[in-house]
Amino acid sequence: MVPITTFHYLVVAAALFVLGVIGVLTRRNVVIVLMSIELILNAVNLNLVAFSRMWGNLNGQVFSIFVTVDAAAEAAVGLGILIAFFRNRETINVDEIDLLKW
């Protein structure tokens, strides 16, 4: 068996990142778009922690804690915006949330 190195973790993180980007760009349901953003942030965290292990200090881990805190704040505010919009327009479809289009 090949020993598990940083390369393997980077591959998993890249796969999660690309899946998150596909989710953000192609899905109609706004809640699923927000969940794909969480996937992207998790991929970034995995990258940070893998590199922290590679270099042997803890800067990457501390940074990933801050990214997690950021993701929590952003999820809360994003879902608040979604609820406020849903109360007005009764839809959660990105194709129909186009009030600012000319």
**Interactions with another protein, residue window 39-98 (CB under 8 A):** 39, 42, 45-46, 49-50, 52-56, 58-59, 61-62, 64-66, 68-77, 79-84, 86-87, 90-95
Smaller CB separation from another protein, 24 or 102: 24
Please give the structure tokens belonging to residue 83. 């609820």
Near another protein by CB under 8 A: residue from 1, 99, 101, 102:
1
**What is the spatial distance between Cα 9 and Cα 4, in angstroms, rounded to a whole number?**
8
**What is the spatial distance between Cα 33 and Cα 25, in angstroms, rounded to a whole number?**
8
Number of residues counted as binding another protein (CB under 8 A): 76
Handedness of CA 87, 90, 92, 96 (dihedral sign): negative
